[in-house]
Amino acid sequence: MDEQSFFKKLNNLCTSKEIFYFLSSLEVMSDTMASGALQRISEVEVDDNGLKNPGLFENEVFRALCFQFEFESSKLSSTGLLNALQALVKLRVDPQSTLMTRLLLESEERLGRGQLTAENLCALGESLLELEGPSCATLEQVVNHMQERDIERWSPREIVTVYKILQVTVREGKQCQNLLNRLNSVTLYIVSQLSPNSLSVILNSLVVLHQTQAVPLVTALCKHSVKHVPYFTDHELVNVLEAFQYFGQKLQIFTEALERHIPKSICTMHPQSVSKVMQYCCKKMILSKPIFDAVAECFISSADRLTTDQIAAYIIPFGTLNYLPPSASSLFRKLETVLHAHLRHFQPHTLLNLLHSCVLVQRYPINFLPKIFSPYFLQKLQAQPPGLNRVVMSQLTQLFLTVTLECPFYEGPKLLSKYQVKVFPMPQSSPDVHLFKRVKTGLLHLLKKRIYFASEVSTPYFYVVDIEIKLDEEGFVLPAAQLEEVHRRIALCVDGQNRFCAHSHNLLGEEAIKQRHLQLLGYEVVQIPFFEIESLQNTRKMADYLHKKIFPCTYELSN
């Protein structure tokens, strides 16, 4: 039988029994055909759990194939030799056996003589990685030979293999940036040919190898990943999401693809993949209601099977992005049940992050706050990285302020003053400088003098007010420095895009709780969102807008 007919028939066989029956009917087989048969056996007999049928090693046809490779290794073609080695590695044949020792020795001798093609080098590299790991000395020789080759002519499969090998050898301290630069350039032209698995492997390698300078390639890979979203395995999707985060990529069409895929597939997805999707949305400030609603339903039905880290990853984004799904009451009821059952298993910082996210959306973990404010828990927080830094102490302070202002019935332990911050550090939601300047210019035009408003005012309640205006009992504006006869305080919140979810008018949780608390502390909160003022073309229009927004009664009288 000629090789083309052989492989066509072989690839239609789905069990080792069928393959052995087919092979036993042949009188003559080339070493390429024999190694192809071994590869097909490894494909059908090995899954994620390992070898399905250990008894196949006793099959007479299998033993005859191995005998041929063991005693005729020097006569084999390089393709037959390396393909057989790959298949036997996959089948978990004993690496110390005479068969494996002879195949490896012959492969290394041919490598030293420079007889291996690009395809052979890739096959040998993969086998060595599997057998001996990244510290294998021969791998360095393989990489050196690769550097001498014309990689512009390599197939997508070979390029993917080189990335895999470099990912582990470079991590071991070996520098191959010149080869990587060539590889990145070549890969850019074959992106459209890559399968979901290949795309995922290359993106993961680029992250591990810190290829931040390969912007054109990363951008092309991320764009191409959109069409593969429904076909990624859980592990592949996690790699892609990590690459999007690492390289700062944010594509609306990718989000839309996730929105179409996740709600349909979430019941069969691994919890770690769902966690990564939520972390991606949270990091990129993407409030995707279809995804969040589906995750909420999934949590309600499967929370008992989640780890503590996965529980936190599912829930925290709801607080960060200030969103309550339609099933919010069931969601937080389920969360409370799970917390009661597994509270002692949570790492201190994970638990604090989780409970803090709840108060951002006005869900109050009253039953768990005595634990959070206890000296023992605070000591545990301090003992584990990142310890009691300003962010952690701000979360504790905000939890304490929340129960003080919003839960007056709480009678448990209080947070000691030494664990409280004086001012909340909120660098990610500091005022937009350009927007802030325009609002102050408009206010100056409206109030005539700069003394009538103060900017970035620290309050006794930990928050910083963007702009504060003081009024007396009759509604007249007082100088900002005046402390007496102050009847009303107006807090202007100049909300730039950084205080909203991406492509949305939905305030982030940190800003929403701040404005809620300022109101409870007696301020009249006036929101000045970027989308209301970005179209105002001059100072007069800005002043007119601010007049209407801050002093609506006098605005109506003056018009």
**Rounded CA separation 249/23 (Å):** 50
**Rounded CA separation 497/432 (Å):** 8
**Rounded CA separation 441/155 (Å):** 61
Terminal alpha carbon distance of the chain = 96
DSSP 475: S
AA letter at 366: I
CB contact at 8 A, 384 and 348: yes
CB contact at 8 A, 368 and 352: no
Classify strands 488-495 and 523-529 as parallel, antiparallel or unpaired.
parallel
CB contact at 8 A, 357 and 320: yes
Quote the tokens at residue 556: 């109506």
Domains (ranges, CATH) in the chain?
A: 1-115 (no CATH), 433-550 (3.40.960)
**Rounded CA separation 194/190 (Å):** 7
Cα-based angle 139, 145, 146 (whole degrees, multiple of 5): 90
Alpha carbons within 13 angstroms on the beta-carbon side of residue 72 total: 16
Q: How many helices (H) and strands (E) does the chain have?
A: 27, 7
Residue among 461, 386, 456, 464 nearest 425 (CA): 464
Per the rule left: phi > 0, alpha: psi between -120 and 50, beta: everything else, 86 is: alpha
AA letter at 543: A
User: 18: buried, middle or exposed (CB in 10 Å: 19+, 13-18, 0-12)?
Assistant: middle
CB contact at 8 A, 270 and 241: no
**Rounded CA separation 528/542 (Å):** 11
**Rounded CA separation 502/182 (Å):** 36
φ/ψ of 179, rounded to 5, equals -65, -40
**Rounded CA separation 79/116 (Å):** 9
**Rounded CA separation 338/43 (Å):** 42
pLDDT at position 237: 97
Cα-based angle 554, 556, 559 (whole degrees, multiple of 5): 110
**Residues in the chain, pLDDT under 70:** 171-175, 426-429, 555-559
Is the bond leading into 408 cis (omega within 30 degrees of zero)?
no
